[in-house]
Each structure stands twice: as C-alpha cells, then as structure tokens.
Structure 1
Amino acid sequence: MNVLIVDDEISAIEAVSKGIRWDMLGFENVYTATSVQEAILRFSEISMDILLSDIEMPRGSGLELLQWVNEHYPNVKCIFMTCHAEFHYLQKAMRLGGVDYILKPLDFSKVELVLKETIEKIRTERILKENSNSWVQNKKAVVKQFWKDFFLGEISPNRDSLKNYFHQKRLDIKLEGKYLPVLIVTKKWMDLYSKDDQKLLQYGLRNITEELFTFPEAEREVIAFSDTSILVMLQITGCSEEQDLYTQIENCCRQSIDTAKRYIKGIISCYIGVKDTIYEMPSVIESLQEMDFNNVIHQPSVSFLNQANYGEERLVYSDTPIGQWREWLQEGLYSKVWNEIRDRLTPHEPKNNINRDFLRLFARDFYYLIFGFASDRSIFVNELLNDEQSNKLLEKATESLDGLLQWVTHAIELMQYFDKANANRDNSVERTKMYIHQHLSEEISMEQIARNVHLNADYLTRIFKKEIGVSISKYMINKRMEKARDLLIHTDKSIGEIAMLVGYYNYSSFNRVFTKETGKSPQEFKNSNKSGFSAKQSDFEIL
C-alpha cells in the first residue's frame, strides 16, 4: 500500500508522517507533497492507493485535487483533513462518495482507524474486480463522462454520432429509450461560507442526491453539472404510470430540499423535466436552466417543466411612480418610499411570478430615482454610491428578489444619511471658513476640511464657490496672504517665521505665492511698509 500526504504546511506533514504507525497498518511507502501541482506529479511517478489531503491550500484546494484524482485514478481513496468542526454532519455524505473526513487537530488513533477502514474497502473492491470484468467497474465513470460531453456539445445529438460514441466506449445506453432530467440548484447558503467550504458542501449534496434518487423502474446518473447545480439523468426502464413516476421524483426532490436545509444549510430548487428521447435532452436541459435563471425567489421549490407558464399569472411590470417617490424623498419621507417599494416587490399573491426582466426594469427605474435625488442636491450619483459595498449590491440587484431588496434598502439608507449629514449645510460654508482661519499655520488638505464639516469634498467645493465666489483653495491663499501682509507690517518677525505661521514650510513656495498675489516679494513688501510704520510710531511718541 502506498499513501500520499498533501499539506501546504511542512510541519503538518511531518506530524502525520511520524504520528501514524504506518508499518503496522501495512503501508510500504509514505510519500508527501506540499501543493496540488506537486501531488499530481507524484501520481504520474508512483502508483498510489490512498490520498490523505488537506482541503484548504493556497495554490489549489484539496477538492480540486480530488476532482483530478477521480478523473485520472478513480480507484484511489481520498481522506480529507480540515479544521471545520461544524461540518461533522457531512461525514456520512462524504463517505457515500468514497471520501472520508478527519478534523484537525488530528487524533492519530482515529486517523489510524479511518486508514484501516479505507484499506479494507480497497481490498474488498480489488477482490470484486478480480472476480468480474474490469469494464463493469469503470462503467459508471464512463457513463458520467458521456453525459458531460453530451451536454457540453462535444457530441452531436444525432443518431450516427451517438451510435459511434456508444460503440467506441462500449456503452449500452439505448438510443430509442426515454429519458427524464432533474436539475437541482443551490440558490443560496443560509450561513456565510468560503468558496472552498461551498465546494465541500456541494460535494456532500451530490452524494446525498445519489442516495435519495433511487427508482425501481429507472436507471439514474448523478452528475456535477456546475459549481452550484447537480443533474440527475433518469433512463426510464419500466412501464409504470407517468404520473406515478413524477410523484416519486417530486418526493425525492422534497427530501433533498429538507436534507439540504437541515444538514448543509443550503436552499435548493429542483426542476423536473419531461420524458423524451435522448436527442431532445439538450433542449430540455436548456429549458430547465432557463427556468432556474428566471427563478429569482431564492426559496426551496419544486417546479415542473410541463407545467411552466400554466396556471401562473406573472406579475406584469408597470412604470413606478418615480416623481411621487422623489417628492417624498425631498420631504424626508424615506420610510414611506421603502414601504411602497416593499409592497410592490412582495405582493399578496405567490412571489414565484417575478422574473429577471421584472427585476431589471425595477432596478433601472430605481436608479432614475437615485439620479433625481442626486440632481436635487447638486451632487453626482457616484458621490453617493461609489463604495465597494454599493457596487457589489448593485451587481446582485437583478439576480434575485433578495438582492434587489438589499440594494434598495442600502441606497435609501445612504440617501437618508446624506440628508441627515447635510441638514445644516447652509452653515457648512461658515464652518469651513472658520476651520481655515483656525488652521492657517498648518498644511491642511481638502479632504481634512471636508471631513470636518461631514461633507463630500467635491460637493463642499461646489457649494463653497457658489456661496463665496472663489474656490476653497483660492480662499485659503487669500487668507494666508492677508495674515502674512499684516505680520510683515506690524511685527519684526523674520520672513521665514511668517511663512511658517501662514502654513508654508518651504520659503521658496511662500515667496512665489506672495509675489504672485501682491506683485511684490515679501522682502520688498516689508521694506516698502517699514518707513510708514516707523513714522506712525514717531508721531504717536510726540503726541
């Protein structure tokens, strides 16, 4: 027996290598790798029996490695090592797929027990393989690959192409048989999971689906269709009533929904296709994907393709009263706008009649409302909604009803906050002037000034110039030069000292600005005003 240990931390590899009694378990060689790429290289050099891998690694996850191993070395057994204790309920689901799951920090006695059980599985499978045709053992992997190739368009859906493919691969898939697909899609996770965690949970869901979708009169293949979806392909072999078959499938879907919600904290929707020939399956799958695309209500559901658009009244989009909402925002009635929008998006009728087109049109009109709000306050929209969170929410606004409601809520909160922060904006100019007067001796930036009055810098610049007639930077220069002239006339301070007192720590910069503003250099100005100052002093002394 050969085992490959994969972990990006060398200390973790050493701990496992030394902590397990490999000889007693019957292992001949223990190999190691610190990345997915190095592990793949090891597989090309040596025949492995067991893969003991960490899940989260910086240059490729253990799940990606597992996928590669399943495609190239399907007989290798995988054992994952991870810190995610909250996923203990997935252990059974993982085992269904031939994968075990061990929590870190490792209890080496438990690891040895799992390794021993895995070795027994390998030996049992080898005995079965020796007593049967190897084709039987690999049939499942070949069939799964066919469906992937078929739906990716690599095999044309015509009789000759399929017949040649089946002949080359020695598949007994019937061309004249009837097939029925079921698409299972994870719409959202109830908890916050990383991408690697989601992949792991999705893998567990696929194994659960393998266990639940079992029918006496239909052969089935369960395929990982995308990162968030599973495809169940049913080949109808019996002759039971069609309605009975649909009832069985619906029951399996509802069991999957309950299991996913309970154990992996996932909200899934199931889409049941129609029974047809293999040639029609690509178009049927495409119709199921379209149903899912327009399912913007991320709640557990079971939908039938043969009932799509029947007995279902779609919510017809009508123009929103943007003008009325804009007036309410001007009056500060934010809650009234939000309540009206909520009532429009969550009518009393079932909500599954809202599709993506409805969300797109509503999001477009709501953006017009934001534009009107910004226009009324002489600001640009990006001054209100240019942060990372706003951009992310906007991207999700047309994908689901929850996403649209979150974006609307966020935007209304920002509008309310803006109005609240600028409730005394008439005083903002005076506060800006006062701040400049108090900090003339400092190097102050536009951002500092804006923060002090709690306004956007661009917005403050516009209202200041409109009120005073000059820009903030020009006003600041004027006040600094005014103070400099006063100090040059009425004090004996050096020009360097005066420059620092008016916020210039570079003499040449002060000299350049002063000369430009007064037409004289600081020294010339001081000399021209010195005699007048002395004469006034003498007159005062005589009096």
Structure 2
Amino acid sequence: MNILIVDDLISVVNGIIKGVDWDSLGILGIYKAHNVYEARVLINNLKIDILLTDIEMPGESGLDLVEWIREKELDMECIFMSSHADFEYAQRALHFGGFRYVLLPCPYSEIQEVIRDAMEKLKKDRSRRKLSEYGKIISEDVWIEKMLLEECLDAQKNVRAVEKLVELKRFSRDTQGYLCYLKIRNEEDVEEKWDLQLMEFTLNNVISELMAPLQQRLLLFQKNIREYWFFCDGIDSNYTAPVELFGRQIQMVIETLRGICRLDTRIIYRYCDDLIKIAALSREILEDVPNNEADLLLCPDVTENRWLQYYNTEWAGKLKENVALFLEKKNGDDRRKFLRICMQLHTDLIQLLYKYLNQYNDSIFSVFETNGMFERYINAYKNVDDLLWMAEMIQNYIMRRSIPPGTSEDPVQEVTRYVHEHISQDIKRSDLANHVHLNIDYLSRIFKREKGVTLNDYIILEKMNVARNLLSTTRLPVSLIAVKVGYSNFSYFSKLYKKIYGHSPVQERR
C-alpha cells in the first residue's frame, strides 16, 4: 500500500516519515505534500491507499481535500491530524468520512497503530467488495452444480443428482477425479474471524490456483464454516492427475492455508472412477475422520522433519550444501522411490520455511517474489535442480532475516564495504555474491531495491569516483590511475569515464 502525508509544516511531515516503522506496516510508497494543491496532483497521478492529513493549512483545508476525495469516490482511508483538541473539528472530520482523528503532538507509535488500523479496514472493505463481485460472477449453473454435488453424497439422491450433472454437461458418466473432504481445525473461534462467504471464496481461490498446474478444475461447496467438500477432475476429460502428484498438491494446499491464511486444515481424499460411487466414498471418508480432534493429522508430524534442525541455528547457512549431499546420496536406480523422497524433502523444506515466515510475519511472496518463481517453488519436487534452487532461496531468506537491520553484517552494507576495499581489483557480481553467501540474482535485487542502482553500475560508479579523485589530487599518470581502479585496458577505462562524466580522463586532468 501507499500513503500520502499532507501538512504545511515540513518538520511534522519529516518527523512522521522518520518516526514510523514503515517496513513493519508493509507500506511500499511514502509520499508527501505541503498543501492541498500538491496533494491533489499526487492523488491524480499515483495510487494512494492511506491519506494522513492536517486539517488547518493555508488556503484549502484537509477537510476540503477529503471532501474532494469523496466526491471522486476514490478508494482511500483518510486520517486527520490536528493540534486543536476541539470537538467540532473531530465531528466535522468524521462527517467527511475520516477514519480517525489524531490529536498532535502524540507518539509516532500511536500514529503507526492508527495507520495499521486504517490498512486493516481498507483490506476488509476491499475483500468484501471483491466477494460481492465474486457473487455476481458466479452463474446460476454453478450454484446448481454445487447443490447437485451435495446431493451426490446422499445415497438416496445420488443417481438422480448424477443424471442432472450429466445433463448440465458439467460431468460425463465416466468422469474420473478426486472427492475431497476439508476440515478446519483451528482451536480459536473461526466464526468470529471469518464469515461464510469469505471463507468459501478464500478456499476456492487457493485450491483452484494450486490445482491449476495439474490441469484440474474444482467444484466446492460448504457444509458449514469448518467443513467443505470439493471434487477435482481434469480440464481435459481424458486426463486424470496421478494420485502421487494430486496428493502432493493437496499437501501444498494445506501448507499454503496454514502459512498464508493461518488456517490449520485436514484434507482427506479418495480417487473416484464413477460418480455413482461418490456417496459410498463420502461415507468411507467420514469414517476415516477420528472423533478425537487431536488425532487429526494428515501432514507428517513436524518433529519427524530432519530439516527443522536448521531452524534458528548456525547450520542454516549450509542448507543448500546439505540438501545437495542428501539428494546425491539418495539418488539411486529406483526412480519412483527417488521421486517420493524428493516430494517428502519438498514438504520438509516448506515446513522449515513457514516456521521462519510465521516467526517474522512474512508472506511467501517475500521469498518467491514473482508468479514464475512461485510456480517453480510449487513444482520444485519434480527435479533436483529446482529443489536445490528452492533450498538456496530459503537459505538466502533465512540468512537475510537472521541479520539485524543496520548491522555491519547487512549484505548490502557488506557489499559496499567489499567494493571500497577491493577497488583496485576486477570485481565481478559472482565475487560479491560468494562473499556474502547469497544467490547472484537475489543479491542484485535487494541491492537495487536499497541503493536504487544495479550492482554493476554501482561498481563502475565507485571506480570512476575514485579515479576522478586521483586525477584531481595526484600527479599519477592516467594509465596508472586506470590500473589502480581495476582496469588494465586503458581505452575501455576512458570509454566508461567519458560515458559517466561527459569527457575523457585526460581532459579531466587538463
């Protein structure tokens, strides 16, 4: 989300920018304006989610700004600030749709919590609107299909329900797929945190997305807020996902719901080669559900996960190396057995990762930042190279998160220090990545995010800056200066220097 801070006092704006922990809030863009005109320009050109504005300013007031925002029907939460403890101010602010009224001066931590509350409200409002749109999109046929699938579970209604589904052309009599039962096991009161529509929408989205790589389509219906049935079959009627791969994706569903949605679930599934058998399969599944909720365990017990020994220990820095040794040792002639080992390793690494994600309240997308990376992560069990890549990405994340921000061991600071200390050498990106024990691409991303320039450009700029200083403060020959900043090819050095400063190093000396 992005925030815009509006106040005619520069010291107030700068104080808030420095005093609030924006990273903990998850704010990506922080913008400032010192009057209503500047604020309007920014709002017209940027996506602003939260507005934090003073009420009294020269010219138009913060109330005028918020009234304009409401007239334009912009999706934004507005927080008012004022140094006047006046009830009329607060009343007018709330009348114009203000989320909260903050009386200044106050601790930055208080402002931070008000912003956090506004973000939560905005997320919930957007979620409700999305659900409303989702409800409008769902066609009447889908609702009928859900109802008929529910009737398929009833032995007395099963045959007629299957006939109706065939008539709707949603299934054929020989459709093959998987009947699945999902139960939410959270001990706390799920009913207070989730409503029925939001829960169904969330489960439908997560399961559909994770089944997409197997070319599976989904039909899900809700028994109650804690229990769901769904049926997965191939988009291509001639294809049914192999049971091992389907089970793997079900495991991913469980891990994703646990890690991202904080939902502890159990999923039991049965292969179905005839829709008439659904009623019998549903009874078999329910018989498989123990009465004692404490016995509901589908995932391997995390205490049996050997890779959890890397959690919060110095061994985390050797995760990829030891995964490689483990796979080399297990890679024998039996390919099916090795695939099962890879699938189990994949699950174990996910469990390790989610322990860290939960500890730092991070999203899975803070590790796998693009859709392509996330898809590769989901399917990493399929080959050794992808498993090693996944282990390396997790190791990089763990190492980054294990370093307190601002310390000398911060990888970006360590890279800049290394460049300065080795300015006379031919520095490569791979040298820097090896020095801080990070993947090259990952290091490049975090470096550019923090410094605003690419790693290669930074190296060149630092070398040229040192060369320029030597040209102006010493009588060393230009060719020797080139060598001192790591360039044995004088013409290449001159070309880079001219590209940056607009003239050659010889002209600089003159």
**Fold-level similarity (TM above 0.5):** no
Query: Based on CA coordinates, which of the two structures has the bigger radius of gyration?
Result: 1
